[in-house]
Structure 1
Amino acid sequence: MLFAYAVTALASAAGVWARAVPNPIEVMKRTHVAGSVITKCSKSGVLALAYDDGPYQYTSSLVDTLNTAGVKGTFFFTGTLYGCIYNQRAAVKKAYDNGHQVASHTWTHPHMGSMSAGAIQSEMEKVEQAFVNIFGRKPAYVRPPYLETGGQFLNVMRQMNYTVINDDIDTGDWNNQSPSSSEAMFTRAGAGGQGHIPLMHETYQSTVTTLTNWLINWAKTNNLKIVTVAECLDDAGGMYKQGTFTGNGASSC
Protein backbone atom coordinates (compact mmCIF):
# COMPACT_ATOMS: atom_id res chain seq x y z
CA MET A 1 0.00 0.00 0.00
CA LEU A 2 2.78 2.39 0.97
CA PHE A 3 4.67 1.43 -2.16
CA ALA A 4 1.67 2.09 -4.37
CA TYR A 5 1.12 5.45 -2.70
CA ALA A 6 4.79 6.35 -3.21
CA VAL A 7 4.61 5.43 -6.89
CA THR A 8 1.44 7.48 -7.33
CA ALA A 9 2.96 10.46 -5.55
CA LEU A 10 6.14 10.21 -7.60
CA ALA A 11 4.17 10.04 -10.84
CA SER A 12 2.09 13.01 -9.78
CA ALA A 13 5.17 15.02 -8.92
CA ALA A 14 6.76 14.08 -12.22
CA GLY A 15 3.65 15.25 -14.03
CA VAL A 16 3.75 18.59 -12.25
CA TRP A 17 7.43 18.93 -13.03
CA ALA A 18 6.83 18.06 -16.68
CA ARG A 19 4.13 20.69 -16.92
CA ALA A 20 6.31 23.24 -15.12
CA VAL A 21 9.29 22.77 -17.43
CA PRO A 22 8.62 24.43 -20.81
CA ASN A 23 9.08 22.56 -24.05
CA PRO A 24 12.69 23.23 -25.18
CA ILE A 25 11.46 24.34 -28.60
CA GLU A 26 9.14 26.86 -26.99
CA VAL A 27 11.96 28.12 -24.79
CA MET A 28 14.12 28.61 -27.86
CA LYS A 29 11.28 30.37 -29.67
CA ARG A 30 10.53 32.78 -26.80
CA THR A 31 14.21 33.59 -26.38
CA HIS A 32 14.45 34.08 -30.12
CA VAL A 33 11.51 36.45 -30.07
CA ALA A 34 12.32 38.51 -27.02
CA GLY A 35 16.03 38.33 -26.47
CA SER A 36 17.62 40.52 -29.10
CA VAL A 37 17.14 42.32 -32.38
CA ILE A 38 17.96 40.04 -35.30
CA THR A 39 20.00 41.43 -38.18
CA LYS A 40 21.24 38.34 -40.05
CA CYS A 41 20.14 34.84 -40.90
CA SER A 42 21.14 32.07 -38.54
CA LYS A 43 22.70 29.95 -41.27
CA SER A 44 24.77 30.26 -44.43
CA GLY A 45 23.77 29.58 -48.01
CA VAL A 46 20.61 31.69 -47.91
CA LEU A 47 19.39 35.19 -48.71
CA ALA A 48 16.21 36.67 -47.24
CA LEU A 49 14.62 39.29 -49.48
CA ALA A 50 12.63 41.56 -47.15
CA TYR A 51 10.52 44.50 -48.31
CA ASP A 52 9.10 47.29 -46.14
CA ASP A 53 6.33 49.90 -46.35
CA GLY A 54 3.75 48.10 -48.49
CA PRO A 55 1.23 47.18 -49.51
CA TYR A 56 1.57 49.44 -52.51
CA GLN A 57 0.90 49.53 -56.23
CA TYR A 58 3.87 47.28 -56.95
CA THR A 59 3.05 44.52 -54.45
CA SER A 60 1.23 42.25 -56.89
CA SER A 61 3.91 42.53 -59.59
CA LEU A 62 6.64 41.87 -57.00
CA VAL A 63 4.85 38.69 -55.97
CA ASP A 64 4.74 37.69 -59.65
CA THR A 65 8.48 38.33 -60.05
CA LEU A 66 9.32 36.20 -57.02
CA ASN A 67 6.93 33.45 -58.11
CA THR A 68 8.40 33.34 -61.61
CA ALA A 69 11.86 32.91 -60.10
CA GLY A 70 10.58 30.20 -57.75
CA VAL A 71 11.66 32.05 -54.60
CA LYS A 72 9.95 33.35 -51.46
CA GLY A 73 10.16 36.84 -49.98
CA THR A 74 9.02 38.62 -46.84
CA PHE A 75 6.62 41.55 -46.91
CA PHE A 76 6.62 43.86 -43.89
CA PHE A 77 3.26 45.55 -44.39
CA THR A 78 1.87 48.68 -42.74
CA GLY A 79 -1.77 49.56 -42.23
CA THR A 80 -2.00 53.10 -43.51
CA LEU A 81 1.38 54.41 -44.71
CA TYR A 82 0.54 54.37 -48.43
CA GLY A 83 -3.23 54.31 -48.18
CA CYS A 84 -5.46 51.87 -46.36
CA ILE A 85 -4.31 48.25 -46.38
CA TYR A 86 -7.83 47.12 -47.28
CA ASN A 87 -7.52 48.93 -50.59
CA GLN A 88 -4.73 46.44 -51.38
CA ARG A 89 -6.56 43.44 -49.92
CA ALA A 90 -6.11 41.34 -53.06
CA ALA A 91 -2.35 41.95 -53.21
CA VAL A 92 -1.88 41.18 -49.51
CA LYS A 93 -3.80 37.92 -49.80
CA LYS A 94 -1.93 37.07 -53.00
CA ALA A 95 1.38 37.33 -51.16
CA TYR A 96 0.10 35.10 -48.37
CA ASP A 97 -1.59 32.56 -50.65
CA ASN A 98 1.60 32.15 -52.66
CA GLY A 99 3.65 31.22 -49.60
CA HIS A 100 5.49 34.46 -49.04
CA GLN A 101 5.88 35.66 -45.47
CA VAL A 102 3.51 38.47 -44.53
CA ALA A 103 4.78 40.34 -41.48
CA SER A 104 4.12 43.56 -39.56
CA HIS A 105 5.65 46.98 -40.09
CA THR A 106 3.13 48.60 -37.69
CA TRP A 107 -0.14 50.35 -38.46
CA THR A 108 0.91 53.98 -39.08
CA HIS A 109 4.73 53.70 -39.34
CA PRO A 110 5.44 55.86 -36.25
CA HIS A 111 8.58 56.37 -34.16
CA MET A 112 7.85 53.51 -31.76
CA GLY A 113 10.70 54.31 -29.37
CA SER A 114 8.95 57.42 -28.09
CA MET A 115 5.52 55.82 -27.63
CA SER A 116 3.84 54.37 -24.56
CA ALA A 117 3.50 50.61 -24.17
CA GLY A 118 -0.24 50.87 -24.75
CA ALA A 119 0.17 52.86 -27.95
CA ILE A 120 2.76 50.38 -29.26
CA GLN A 121 0.45 47.47 -28.53
CA SER A 122 -2.40 49.22 -30.32
CA GLU A 123 -0.22 49.72 -33.41
CA MET A 124 0.54 46.01 -33.50
CA GLU A 125 -3.00 44.83 -32.78
CA LYS A 126 -4.45 46.90 -35.62
CA VAL A 127 -2.13 45.21 -38.08
CA GLU A 128 -2.99 41.83 -36.61
CA GLN A 129 -6.70 42.48 -37.05
CA ALA A 130 -6.23 43.59 -40.64
CA PHE A 131 -4.29 40.42 -41.46
CA VAL A 132 -6.98 38.32 -39.78
CA ASN A 133 -9.66 40.08 -41.81
CA ILE A 134 -7.75 39.52 -45.05
CA PHE A 135 -6.29 36.01 -44.67
CA GLY A 136 -7.08 34.72 -41.17
CA ARG A 137 -3.65 34.74 -39.53
CA LYS A 138 -1.70 36.96 -37.11
CA PRO A 139 1.96 37.74 -37.86
CA ALA A 140 4.75 36.70 -35.50
CA TYR A 141 7.44 38.88 -37.08
CA VAL A 142 7.89 42.65 -37.12
CA ARG A 143 10.39 45.09 -38.53
CA PRO A 144 10.09 48.40 -36.64
CA PRO A 145 9.80 51.64 -38.63
CA TYR A 146 13.11 53.44 -38.97
CA LEU A 147 14.62 50.30 -37.35
CA GLU A 148 14.01 51.94 -33.95
CA THR A 149 13.90 49.54 -31.01
CA GLY A 150 14.27 51.88 -28.02
CA GLY A 151 11.88 52.87 -25.26
CA GLN A 152 9.15 50.34 -24.48
CA PHE A 153 9.24 48.69 -27.90
CA LEU A 154 11.19 45.51 -27.11
CA ASN A 155 9.34 44.98 -23.83
CA VAL A 156 6.01 45.07 -25.65
CA MET A 157 7.31 42.79 -28.41
CA ARG A 158 8.42 40.34 -25.76
CA GLN A 159 4.97 40.35 -24.20
CA MET A 160 3.28 39.97 -27.58
CA ASN A 161 5.67 37.19 -28.67
CA TYR A 162 7.10 38.94 -31.74
CA THR A 163 10.39 38.23 -33.45
CA VAL A 164 12.06 41.60 -34.14
CA ILE A 165 13.96 41.99 -37.42
CA ASN A 166 16.34 44.72 -38.51
CA ASP A 167 18.93 44.35 -41.28
CA ASP A 168 22.58 43.84 -42.04
CA ILE A 169 22.59 45.58 -45.44
CA ASP A 170 20.77 48.87 -45.97
CA THR A 171 20.24 49.18 -49.71
CA GLY A 172 19.61 52.90 -49.30
CA ASP A 173 16.72 52.90 -51.77
CA TRP A 174 14.85 55.18 -49.36
CA ASN A 175 17.78 57.62 -49.60
CA ASN A 176 17.88 57.83 -53.42
CA GLN A 177 20.58 55.20 -53.80
CA SER A 178 20.54 53.78 -57.32
CA PRO A 179 20.12 50.03 -57.87
CA SER A 180 23.75 49.85 -59.02
CA SER A 181 24.90 51.40 -55.73
CA SER A 182 22.78 48.91 -53.81
CA GLU A 183 24.13 46.04 -55.89
CA ALA A 184 27.68 47.12 -55.04
CA MET A 185 26.83 46.79 -51.34
CA PHE A 186 25.97 43.12 -51.79
CA THR A 187 29.05 42.52 -53.88
CA ARG A 188 31.24 44.05 -51.16
CA ALA A 189 29.46 42.14 -48.38
CA GLY A 190 29.88 38.88 -50.26
CA ALA A 191 27.90 35.68 -50.18
CA GLY A 192 29.82 33.94 -47.38
CA GLY A 193 28.90 33.62 -43.73
CA GLN A 194 25.41 33.94 -42.37
CA GLY A 195 22.78 34.99 -44.89
CA HIS A 196 21.85 38.62 -45.42
CA ILE A 197 18.58 40.26 -44.37
CA PRO A 198 18.59 43.49 -46.39
CA LEU A 199 16.51 46.60 -45.87
CA MET A 200 14.52 47.28 -49.05
CA HIS A 201 11.27 49.04 -49.85
CA GLU A 202 8.65 47.83 -52.29
CA THR A 203 7.47 51.41 -52.79
CA TYR A 204 10.29 52.09 -55.26
CA GLN A 205 9.85 50.65 -58.73
CA SER A 206 13.61 50.39 -59.22
CA THR A 207 13.81 48.12 -56.17
CA VAL A 208 10.87 45.98 -57.28
CA THR A 209 12.20 45.49 -60.78
CA THR A 210 15.91 46.22 -61.26
CA LEU A 211 17.34 45.43 -57.82
CA THR A 212 15.15 42.41 -57.12
CA ASN A 213 15.97 40.78 -60.45
CA TRP A 214 19.67 41.47 -59.92
CA LEU A 215 19.50 39.87 -56.45
CA ILE A 216 17.76 36.80 -57.82
CA ASN A 217 20.57 36.37 -60.35
CA TRP A 218 23.27 37.22 -57.76
CA ALA A 219 21.91 34.57 -55.41
CA LYS A 220 21.85 31.98 -58.19
CA THR A 221 25.41 32.81 -59.21
CA ASN A 222 26.57 32.44 -55.61
CA ASN A 223 24.57 29.26 -54.89
CA LEU A 224 22.34 31.02 -52.36
CA LYS A 225 18.78 29.94 -51.73
CA ILE A 226 16.33 32.85 -51.47
CA VAL A 227 14.00 32.24 -48.54
CA THR A 228 11.68 34.05 -46.17
CA VAL A 229 13.12 35.71 -43.08
CA ALA A 230 11.54 33.04 -40.88
CA GLU A 231 13.07 30.27 -42.99
CA CYS A 232 16.50 31.85 -42.85
CA LEU A 233 16.20 31.67 -39.05
CA ASP A 234 15.11 28.00 -39.15
CA ASP A 235 11.65 29.09 -38.04
CA ALA A 236 9.54 28.29 -41.10
CA GLY A 237 6.67 27.14 -38.91
CA GLY A 238 6.75 30.30 -36.82
CA MET A 239 5.86 32.94 -39.40
CA TYR A 240 2.43 33.35 -37.84
CA LYS A 241 0.94 33.00 -34.41
CA GLN A 242 -0.68 29.64 -33.78
CA GLY A 243 -4.17 29.05 -35.10
CA THR A 244 -6.51 30.90 -37.40
CA PHE A 245 -8.74 33.72 -36.29
CA THR A 246 -12.14 35.14 -37.12
CA GLY A 247 -12.28 38.54 -38.78
CA ASN A 248 -14.43 41.38 -37.53
CA GLY A 249 -15.72 42.38 -40.96
CA ALA A 250 -13.76 45.63 -41.15
CA SER A 251 -12.93 46.77 -44.66
CA SER A 252 -11.68 50.30 -44.10
CA CYS A 253 -9.07 52.07 -42.02
Structure 2
Amino acid sequence: MLAETVIAGLALASTAVAAPAPNPLQFLKRAPTPGVVIRQCTSPGMLALAYDDGPYQYTSELVDILDAAGAKATFFWTGTLYGCIYNQANAVKKAFASGHQIASHTWTHGHMGSFGEAQIRQEMTKVEDALVNLIGKKPAYMRPPYLETGGAVLPTLGSMGYKVITDDVDSGDWNNQSPQQSQAAFQRAGASGNGHIPLMHETYAGTVRTLTPWLINWAAQNNLKLVTIAECLGDADGAYQAGEFEPNGRNSC
Protein backbone atom coordinates (compact mmCIF):
# COMPACT_ATOMS: atom_id res chain seq x y z
CA MET A 1 0.00 0.00 0.00
CA LEU A 2 2.86 2.33 0.89
CA ALA A 3 4.63 1.52 -2.37
CA GLU A 4 1.48 2.32 -4.38
CA THR A 5 1.14 5.67 -2.62
CA VAL A 6 4.77 6.56 -3.37
CA ILE A 7 4.39 5.58 -7.03
CA ALA A 8 1.21 7.68 -7.38
CA GLY A 9 2.95 10.66 -5.81
CA LEU A 10 5.88 10.35 -8.20
CA ALA A 11 3.49 10.20 -11.15
CA LEU A 12 1.77 13.41 -10.07
CA ALA A 13 5.09 15.16 -9.58
CA SER A 14 6.21 14.02 -13.04
CA THR A 15 3.01 15.40 -14.55
CA ALA A 16 3.47 18.75 -12.80
CA VAL A 17 7.06 19.06 -14.01
CA ALA A 18 6.07 18.16 -17.57
CA ALA A 19 3.39 20.88 -17.79
CA PRO A 20 4.49 23.62 -20.21
CA ALA A 21 5.39 26.98 -18.75
CA PRO A 22 2.99 29.86 -19.49
CA ASN A 23 3.83 31.85 -22.58
CA PRO A 24 4.80 35.35 -21.38
CA LEU A 25 3.40 36.81 -24.60
CA GLN A 26 -0.09 35.82 -23.44
CA PHE A 27 0.17 38.41 -20.69
CA LEU A 28 1.15 41.10 -23.17
CA LYS A 29 -1.81 40.58 -25.51
CA ARG A 30 -4.49 41.97 -23.25
CA ALA A 31 -7.29 44.04 -24.68
CA PRO A 32 -6.83 47.81 -24.43
CA THR A 33 -8.08 49.35 -21.20
CA PRO A 34 -11.20 51.55 -21.54
CA GLY A 35 -10.79 55.18 -20.57
CA VAL A 36 -7.03 55.21 -21.19
CA VAL A 37 -5.55 57.24 -24.05
CA ILE A 38 -4.06 55.09 -26.83
CA ARG A 39 -1.82 56.81 -29.39
CA GLN A 40 -0.05 54.01 -31.24
CA CYS A 41 -0.37 50.39 -32.28
CA THR A 42 1.03 47.72 -29.98
CA SER A 43 2.66 45.72 -32.77
CA PRO A 44 5.13 46.50 -35.58
CA GLY A 45 4.47 45.96 -39.27
CA MET A 46 1.09 47.70 -39.27
CA LEU A 47 -0.45 51.02 -40.24
CA ALA A 48 -3.93 51.74 -38.90
CA LEU A 49 -5.59 54.12 -41.33
CA ALA A 50 -8.08 56.25 -39.39
CA TYR A 51 -10.46 58.91 -40.67
CA ASP A 52 -12.48 61.45 -38.69
CA ASP A 53 -15.56 63.63 -39.15
CA GLY A 54 -17.63 61.54 -41.56
CA PRO A 55 -19.77 60.13 -42.88
CA TYR A 56 -19.49 62.55 -45.77
CA GLN A 57 -19.79 62.82 -49.52
CA TYR A 58 -16.44 61.06 -50.03
CA THR A 59 -17.12 58.07 -47.77
CA SER A 60 -18.26 55.69 -50.50
CA GLU A 61 -15.38 56.70 -52.77
CA LEU A 62 -12.89 56.19 -49.95
CA VAL A 63 -14.27 52.73 -49.22
CA ASP A 64 -13.81 51.82 -52.89
CA ILE A 65 -10.17 52.98 -52.83
CA LEU A 66 -9.44 51.00 -49.68
CA ASP A 67 -11.27 47.89 -50.85
CA ALA A 68 -9.44 47.85 -54.17
CA ALA A 69 -6.16 47.70 -52.25
CA GLY A 70 -7.34 45.13 -49.71
CA ALA A 71 -6.82 47.73 -46.98
CA LYS A 72 -8.87 48.12 -43.81
CA ALA A 73 -9.48 51.37 -41.96
CA THR A 74 -11.27 52.82 -38.97
CA PHE A 75 -13.95 55.47 -39.44
CA PHE A 76 -14.64 57.81 -36.51
CA TRP A 77 -18.10 59.13 -37.30
CA THR A 78 -20.26 61.89 -35.91
CA GLY A 79 -24.02 62.20 -35.93
CA THR A 80 -24.53 65.72 -37.23
CA LEU A 81 -21.24 67.47 -38.09
CA TYR A 82 -21.64 67.30 -41.87
CA GLY A 83 -25.36 66.69 -42.03
CA CYS A 84 -27.35 63.90 -40.45
CA ILE A 85 -25.65 60.48 -40.35
CA TYR A 86 -28.85 58.87 -41.66
CA ASN A 87 -28.47 60.82 -44.90
CA GLN A 88 -25.34 58.74 -45.56
CA ALA A 89 -26.97 55.43 -44.63
CA ASN A 90 -25.83 53.63 -47.78
CA ALA A 91 -22.21 54.68 -47.31
CA VAL A 92 -22.30 53.71 -43.63
CA LYS A 93 -23.62 50.24 -44.43
CA LYS A 94 -21.15 49.85 -47.29
CA ALA A 95 -18.14 50.63 -45.08
CA PHE A 96 -19.29 48.21 -42.40
CA ALA A 97 -20.06 45.44 -44.91
CA SER A 98 -16.55 45.86 -46.33
CA GLY A 99 -15.02 45.02 -42.97
CA HIS A 100 -13.91 48.48 -41.92
CA GLN A 101 -14.15 49.41 -38.25
CA ILE A 102 -16.88 51.88 -37.34
CA ALA A 103 -16.12 54.00 -34.27
CA SER A 104 -17.54 57.08 -32.56
CA HIS A 105 -16.50 60.71 -32.88
CA THR A 106 -19.47 61.93 -30.78
CA TRP A 107 -22.83 63.21 -31.94
CA THR A 108 -22.10 66.92 -32.46
CA HIS A 109 -18.27 67.13 -32.49
CA GLY A 110 -18.29 69.50 -29.54
CA HIS A 111 -15.53 70.37 -27.09
CA MET A 112 -15.84 67.43 -24.73
CA GLY A 113 -13.27 68.80 -22.32
CA SER A 114 -15.85 71.33 -21.14
CA PHE A 115 -18.74 68.84 -20.94
CA GLY A 116 -20.07 67.25 -17.77
CA GLU A 117 -20.67 63.54 -17.46
CA ALA A 118 -24.32 63.67 -18.51
CA GLN A 119 -23.55 65.58 -21.71
CA ILE A 120 -20.69 63.26 -22.61
CA ARG A 121 -22.95 60.25 -22.13
CA GLN A 122 -25.61 61.83 -24.33
CA GLU A 123 -23.06 62.53 -27.07
CA MET A 124 -21.99 58.90 -27.04
CA THR A 125 -25.35 57.19 -26.69
CA LYS A 126 -26.84 59.12 -29.61
CA VAL A 127 -24.12 57.76 -31.88
CA GLU A 128 -24.67 54.29 -30.45
CA ASP A 129 -28.39 54.45 -31.20
CA ALA A 130 -27.79 55.61 -34.77
CA LEU A 131 -25.26 52.87 -35.49
CA VAL A 132 -27.53 50.20 -34.03
CA ASN A 133 -30.22 51.43 -36.40
CA LEU A 134 -27.84 51.40 -39.37
CA ILE A 135 -25.50 48.44 -38.82
CA GLY A 136 -26.79 46.68 -35.71
CA LYS A 137 -23.63 47.41 -33.69
CA LYS A 138 -22.50 49.74 -30.91
CA PRO A 139 -18.87 50.88 -31.23
CA ALA A 140 -16.34 50.17 -28.49
CA TYR A 141 -13.78 52.67 -29.79
CA MET A 142 -13.93 56.46 -30.01
CA ARG A 143 -11.75 59.45 -30.79
CA PRO A 144 -12.56 62.70 -28.95
CA PRO A 145 -13.06 65.76 -31.15
CA TYR A 146 -10.04 68.07 -31.01
CA LEU A 147 -8.34 65.18 -29.14
CA GLU A 148 -9.67 66.61 -25.87
CA THR A 149 -9.26 64.14 -23.00
CA GLY A 150 -9.39 66.40 -19.94
CA GLY A 151 -12.12 67.06 -17.40
CA ALA A 152 -14.76 64.35 -17.20
CA VAL A 153 -13.86 62.81 -20.57
CA LEU A 154 -11.71 59.83 -19.62
CA PRO A 155 -13.54 58.83 -16.42
CA THR A 156 -16.90 58.93 -18.21
CA LEU A 157 -15.72 57.09 -21.32
CA GLY A 158 -13.98 54.51 -19.15
CA SER A 159 -17.19 53.84 -17.24
CA MET A 160 -18.94 53.35 -20.59
CA GLY A 161 -16.32 50.85 -21.73
CA TYR A 162 -14.86 53.01 -24.51
CA LYS A 163 -11.30 52.63 -25.73
CA VAL A 164 -10.02 56.15 -26.38
CA ILE A 165 -7.84 56.80 -29.42
CA THR A 166 -5.79 59.87 -30.27
CA ASP A 167 -2.83 59.70 -32.70
CA ASP A 168 0.91 59.58 -33.11
CA VAL A 169 1.07 61.05 -36.64
CA ASP A 170 -0.85 64.19 -37.56
CA SER A 171 -1.52 64.53 -41.29
CA GLY A 172 -2.34 68.21 -40.77
CA ASP A 173 -5.10 68.05 -43.36
CA TRP A 174 -7.35 69.92 -40.91
CA ASN A 175 -4.76 72.74 -40.88
CA ASN A 176 -4.66 73.26 -44.66
CA GLN A 177 -1.65 70.98 -45.13
CA SER A 178 -1.43 69.67 -48.68
CA PRO A 179 -1.37 65.91 -49.31
CA GLN A 180 2.33 66.28 -50.13
CA GLN A 181 2.96 67.92 -46.75
CA SER A 182 1.00 65.15 -45.09
CA GLN A 183 3.14 62.57 -46.86
CA ALA A 184 6.23 64.20 -45.37
CA ALA A 185 4.76 63.73 -41.88
CA PHE A 186 4.54 59.98 -42.44
CA GLN A 187 8.03 59.83 -43.89
CA ARG A 188 9.39 61.61 -40.83
CA ALA A 189 7.56 59.18 -38.56
CA GLY A 190 9.03 56.26 -40.47
CA ALA A 191 7.90 52.67 -40.83
CA SER A 192 9.88 51.07 -38.01
CA GLY A 193 8.73 50.42 -34.46
CA ASN A 194 5.12 49.84 -33.50
CA GLY A 195 2.56 50.83 -36.09
CA HIS A 196 1.17 54.33 -36.43
CA ILE A 197 -2.35 55.61 -35.74
CA PRO A 198 -2.69 58.78 -37.84
CA LEU A 199 -5.05 61.71 -37.57
CA MET A 200 -6.77 62.18 -40.94
CA HIS A 201 -10.15 63.41 -42.13
CA GLU A 202 -12.32 61.89 -44.84
CA THR A 203 -13.92 65.29 -45.44
CA TYR A 204 -11.03 66.51 -47.61
CA ALA A 205 -10.80 65.42 -51.23
CA GLY A 206 -7.00 65.56 -51.09
CA THR A 207 -6.90 63.13 -48.18
CA VAL A 208 -9.22 60.69 -49.94
CA ARG A 209 -7.94 60.95 -53.50
CA THR A 210 -4.24 61.73 -53.07
CA LEU A 211 -2.98 60.97 -49.57
CA THR A 212 -4.77 57.63 -49.16
CA PRO A 213 -3.47 56.10 -52.44
CA TRP A 214 0.01 57.35 -51.52
CA LEU A 215 -0.27 55.71 -48.08
CA ILE A 216 -1.36 52.45 -49.68
CA ASN A 217 1.78 52.49 -51.84
CA TRP A 218 4.01 53.64 -48.96
CA ALA A 219 2.73 50.79 -46.81
CA ALA A 220 3.42 48.27 -49.57
CA GLN A 221 6.95 49.60 -50.04
CA ASN A 222 7.61 49.24 -46.33
CA ASN A 223 5.87 45.87 -45.84
CA LEU A 224 3.20 47.38 -43.62
CA LYS A 225 -0.22 45.78 -43.28
CA LEU A 226 -3.12 48.25 -43.48
CA VAL A 227 -5.47 47.34 -40.65
CA THR A 228 -8.17 48.66 -38.36
CA ILE A 229 -7.16 50.23 -35.06
CA ALA A 230 -8.70 47.33 -33.15
CA GLU A 231 -6.53 44.87 -35.09
CA CYS A 232 -3.36 46.90 -34.61
CA LEU A 233 -4.01 46.74 -30.86
CA GLY A 234 -4.57 42.99 -30.86
CA ASP A 235 -8.26 43.58 -30.19
CA ALA A 236 -9.91 42.61 -33.48
CA ASP A 237 -12.80 40.92 -31.64
CA GLY A 238 -13.33 43.94 -29.39
CA ALA A 239 -14.16 46.56 -32.00
CA TYR A 240 -17.82 46.60 -30.96
CA GLN A 241 -19.69 46.30 -27.70
CA ALA A 242 -20.84 42.80 -26.84
CA GLY A 243 -24.51 41.91 -26.99
CA GLU A 244 -27.49 42.06 -29.29
CA PHE A 245 -29.14 45.46 -29.77
CA GLU A 246 -32.58 46.28 -31.10
CA PRO A 247 -32.98 49.18 -33.56
CA ASN A 248 -35.48 51.82 -32.52
CA GLY A 249 -36.62 52.47 -36.08
CA ARG A 250 -35.39 56.05 -36.22
CA ASN A 251 -34.03 57.26 -39.56
CA SER A 252 -33.47 60.96 -38.94
CA CYS A 253 -31.51 63.18 -36.58
Deviation track 1:29-68 (CA, whole Å, cap 9, x = no partner) reads 3x6223x200000010000000000000000010000000
> Secondary structure at 2:216's aligned position in 1?
helix
Deviation track 1:140-180 (CA, whole Å, cap 9, x = no partner) reads 00000000000101011111000000000110001100011
- Structure 1 residue ranges (4+ consecutive) displaced by more than 3 angstroms after TM superposition: none
Q: Give the alignment's TM-score, normalised by structure 1.
A: 0.88
Q: Give the alignment's TM-score, normalised by structure 2.
A: 0.88
Answering whether residue 197 of structure 2 is matched by residue 197 of structure 1, we say: yes
Match of 1:146 in 2: 146
Answering whether residue 88 of structure 2 is matched by residue 85 of structure 1, we say: no
Deviation at 1:188, TM superposition (A): 1.1
Between Structure 1 and Structure 2, how many residues are aligned?
Answer: 227
Percent identity reads 64
> Secondary structure at 1:33's aligned position in 2?
coil
Match of 2:246 in 1: 246
Match of 2:33 in 1: 32
RMSD across aligned positions (CA): 1.3
Match of 1:185 in 2: 185
Deviation at 1:244, TM superposition (A): 2.7
> Secondary structure at 2:110's aligned position in 1?
coil
Which whole-Å CA distance do the structure 2 matches of 1:55 and 1:239 have between them?
Answer: 18
| 5+ residue gaps, structure 1 | 1-23
Deviation track 1:172-218 (CA, whole Å, cap 9, x = no partner) reads 00110001101011111110001000000000000001000000000
1:104-119 → structure 2 map (5 Å cutoff): 104-119=104-119
> Secondary structure at 2:76's aligned position in 1?
strand
> Secondary structure at 1:32's aligned position in 2?
coil
Which whole-Å CA distance do the structure 2 matches of 1:46 and 1:134 have between them?
Answer: 29
> What amino acid maps onto 1:161 in structure 2?
G
Which structure: greater helix fraction? 1
Match of 1:101 in 2: 101
Deviation track 1:97-149 (CA, whole Å, cap 9, x = no partner) reads 11000000000000001011000000000000000000100000000000000
Q: Which has the larger radius of gyration?
A: 2
Which whole-Å CA distance do the structure 1 matches of 2:183 and 2:48 have between them?
Answer: 15
Deviation at 1:28, TM superposition (A): 4.2
Match of 2:62 in 1: 62
Which whole-Å CA distance do the structure 2 matches of 1:189 and 1:124 have between them?
Answer: 32
Which whole-Å CA distance do the structure 1 matches of 2:98 and 2:51 have between them?
Answer: 16
> Secondary structure at 1:151's aligned position in 2?
coil
Match of 2:212 in 1: 212
Which whole-Å CA distance do the structure 2 matches of 1:239 and 1:134 have between them?
Answer: 16
| 5+ residue gaps, structure 2 | 1-25
